[in-house]
Amino acid sequence: MNFNLEQIALLVKGKLTGNGSSLITGAAGLEEAGATDISFLRDTKKLDLLDATKAGGILIGPGMIDNLNRNKNFIEVANPMEAFALILETIAKEKRSPKTGIHPHALISEKAKIGQGVWIGPFVVIEEEAQIEDDAVLEAQVYVGPRSKIGRGTKIYPQVVIREDVQIGRRCIIHSGAVIGSDGFGFFFAHGKHNKIPQVGSVIIEDDVEIGSCTTIDRATAGATRIGQGTKIDNLVQIAHNVEIGPNSILVAQVGIAGSSKLEEGVALGGQVGVADHVKIGKGAQIAAQSGIKEDVSPGAVLFGSPAQPIHEAFRQLALIRRLPELFKKNFKRKIR
């Protein structure tokens, strides 16, 4: 990136205060930024960081300018984080090599359909009747199974496995090591052994979904496992067969969701949350890290603990548990070892 602050203000639709000709070549946090970096401040509790920062320009929120040191360069925007993300996107686009075409070492079935402007990297395997839409990017060693479909503008990083009959929407991002469409964990016990239940369903990933590294999304036993539009999934997440996740949900690292559970729109699961099978989590619910969900959750609920309960109640209980040795000693006059 090689912009001045006046150009950046136009890009983010902000109001500039300071030297508009200052050159900006990169972006960084306030503490790491140098004289040619753009940074941002969205938390008024961290105003002290402005005194020490060397940033060449700082994105701030509405009305903050009156309380700031005017010796620095500021761009006032409606949402500093959104503006900063737009600048990072501009930097990322400049770093991307505009590759198109098919690498000679890719293995593509004659019955597959390949769109225009795609990049298919070395050692990619695309099976029969698979479809790759325009502008999709498949990096090295991606596997696409029979009858699967990759939507327009989707990017798939190296060593992703997409099994048969999977549908992936437009503008999705799938990071390395993810496996989409592996068999659901379905067995029944009879005749003295565990017997496999065939998993013949599919996975449907809607538009604008991002899936982290080494995440696994199992195919449905029958029907479809579905990930709603705009949902973002972190690394090392397990989503079991026939799960339905609503639009614009967030699943943080190491979440595990058992079979046939349903998350409605805008649900947020913190790291290592576990969800039992056949559970429904209502719209906008938030579950704190390491919680266990064993029953349905009401829309908008904020829960913590295992089993999960309203977060303020859980915190009160934890506070009391920490006082147990003191209370025991006081009431029973016995020394606690």
φ, ψ for residue 195, nearest 5 deg: -110, 135
Pairing of strands 244-245, 262-263: parallel
CB–CB of 137/118 below 8 Å? Answer: yes
| pLDDT for 5 | 96
| pLDDT for 136 | 97
Pick the closest to residue 174 from 147, 148, 204, 208 (CA basis).
Answer: 208
Please return the burial class of 120, using the count of CB atoms within 10 Å of its CB with bins 0-12, 13-18 and 19+.
Answer: buried
Instruction: Answer yes or no: is pLDDT of 335 > 70.
Output: no
Alpha helices (H) along the chain: 5-12, 49-52, 80-95, 311-322, 324-332
CB–CB of 57/77 below 8 Å? Answer: no
How do residues 265-324 score in pLDDT, each as one tens digit? 999 999 999 999 999 999 999 999 999 999 999 999 999 999 999 998 998 988 888 888
Q: Where are the domains of the chain?
A: 3-95, 101-308
242 Cβ partners below 8 Å, 6+ apart? 184, 201, 220, 221, 223, 224, 225, 259, 260
- For the annotated catalytic residues, the residue numbers are 241
Matching CATH topology for 3-95 and 101-308? Answer: no
How do residues 4-49 score in pLDDT, each as one tens digit? 999 999 999 999 999 999 999 999 999 999 999 999 998 777 777 8
- The pTM score is 0.88
How do residues 210-237 score in pLDDT, each as one tens digit? 999 999 999 999 999 999 999 999 999 9
**Residue found by looking up tokens 């013949």 in the block:** 200
**For residue 251, what are the β-bridge partners?**
233, 269
Q: What is the CATH number of domain 3-95?
A: 3.40.1390.10
CATH homologous superfamily, domain 101-308: Hexapeptide repeat proteins (2.160.10.10)
How do residues 49-98 score in pLDDT, each as one tens digit? 888 899 999 999 998 887 776 688 999 999 999 999 999 999 888 877 67
How do residues 149-164 score in pLDDT, each as one tens digit? 999 999 999 999 999 9
Report CA dihedral (264, 267, 272, 277) to the nearest 10 degrees.
-10
How do residues 113-126 score in pLDDT, each as one tens digit? 999 999 999 999 99
| pLDDT for 202 | 98
